[in-house]
Structure 1
């Protein structure tokens, strides 16, 4: 974990040095938000331990980061919502995985509404993000439909007993799958 964090930090610093000032300020804000999420201010005190807010911090910071990296940007008012819903959908399985290791006072979504309802919520968010994206980019209908079916299936199979490997491969692999499908559909 430290090696990956170190490599990402090095890459981020390198990118910041070579980017424009506007991007530098955005990256500094995202980096600080992520840093305060990962590192506790003191033992079990920090952004990560604020009840019910953990997933919203993750989704918001990743959405802002994605929006700053899109080139050319999708000039549509729904773009932030599409990204946020997608990130929310693929982040919920991590809270399901951590259901019994997270403290009860964190009040994560699976702790509050249960595993099955959390999976349904993740599927709904995924579906809404795919539908909204397809409305903006109608030429991706086939790729987005294939992705939606694969994503809904992967999310359906998330249960409390799923391993870290399942979540890491199938759920974290969903953005890569969607990118590949859209890339291929644009080539045709």
Structure 2
């Protein structure tokens, strides 16, 4: 039992679970565009997400990332460096326009954790901006990169897809904000710190409603997509009806972050049998 718990905790702490969530949303974008998956892009998104998340969690200060004090974090460090190598490998097979987009997203991700100049704050420290920056980066990796890879021209529906993805990521972040409201620096001015956990939950429910209603603002409304979004909305509502201040250690880090993975499985099931 101890070994299984160690593996499970490593799976979460090494950002494998959240990276699977990111790559699941990228795969869903391919399904929404009705095109085949580019496994080189999906491989890059997964391994790049591992590197980004582990850098933000463990490597905000360079010496912390290079010099670790225990074997557990050293294992995460080795896994992160291996993931960086795989990310470069997959990126090599992608088009130059993907490289440009990745460079911009990489700069944004780096500035989220590391200030541009010694006397400046990083983007994460700017009060109230934290969740919007994270959501923007997720949209870049899970919507923009697949759209660029598919060589599709900008349309109203693609704009709606990106807007819905941005709102969905905000929704998924809010349970973490509630969980960490007492641990986060007050200067971050997270939503639960500013408006309280109850109002944050209500805001989450409002965002869920907006996320779903935007589906009907598209030029082409697909019945399967409406069904799949309805199921997703149901799960999201159930999560926000739960008292998140009493959540277990794994509620947000496993169940909430696992929602995109569940949604992808649902997508594949519906596309396969209906």
Normalising by structure 1, we get a TM-score of 0.86
2:106 aligned residue: 31
RMSD: 2.5
Matched, 1:11 2:86: yes
Contact in 1 for aligned 2:208/2:236 (Cα 8 Å): yes
Contact in 2 for aligned 1:144/1:182 (Cα 8 Å): no
Instruction: From the superposition, tell whether residues 30 and 179 of structure 1 become closer, same or farther in structure 2 (CA, over 3 Å).
Output: same
1:165 aligned residue: 250
Matches within 5 A, 1:59-138: 59-70=135-146, 72=150, 75=155, 76=157, 77-133=159-215, 136-138=221-223
Greater shift after overlay, 25-34 or 62-71? 62-71
3-state SS in 1 of match to 2:85: helix
1:146 aligned residue: 231
Count how many residue pairs are aligned between Structure 1 and Structure 2: 188
**CA–CA separation in structure 1 for the residues paired with 2:271 and 2:213:** 18
Contact in 2 for aligned 1:40/1:48 (Cα 8 Å): no
Q: CA deviation at 1:181?
A: 1.9
Instruction: From the superposition, tell whether residues 45 and 180 of structure 1 become closer, same or farther in structure 2 (CA, over 3 Å).
Output: same
2:71 aligned residue: none
Greater shift after overlay, 150-159 or 109-118? 150-159
Structure 1, residues 56-84: CA drift from partner, whole Å, max 9, x if none? 11011111221233364695131111100
Instruction: From the superposition, tell whether residues 88 and 177 of structure 1 become closer, same or farther in structure 2 (CA, over 3 Å).
Output: same
Structure 2 portions without partners, runs of 5+: 1-13, 15-53, 55-75
Q: CA deviation at 1:159?
A: 1.6
Q: CA deviation at 1:115?
A: 0.5
Q: CA deviation at 1:7?
A: 4.6
Instruction: From the superposition, tell whether residues 172 and 48 of structure 1 become closer, same or farther in structure 2 (CA, over 3 Å).
Output: same
Contact in 1 for aligned 2:215/2:226 (Cα 8 Å): no
1:182 aligned residue: 267
Structure 1, residues 81-102: CA drift from partner, whole Å, max 9, x if none? 1100000000111111110011
Q: Which has the larger radius of gyration?
A: 2
> Relative CO higher for 1 or 2, CA cutoff 8 Å, sep ≥ 6?
2
**CA–CA separation in structure 1 for the residues paired with 2:103 and 2:241:** 36
Q: CA deviation at 1:133?
A: 3.5
Q: CA deviation at 1:44?
A: 9.3
Contact in 2 for aligned 1:67/1:80 (Cα 8 Å): yes
Contact in 1 for aligned 2:136/2:166 (Cα 8 Å): yes
Normalising by structure 2, we get a TM-score of 0.61
Contact in 1 for aligned 2:167/2:207 (Cα 8 Å): yes
Greater shift after overlay, 15-24 or 129-138? 129-138
Greater shift after overlay, 157-166 or 133-142? 133-142
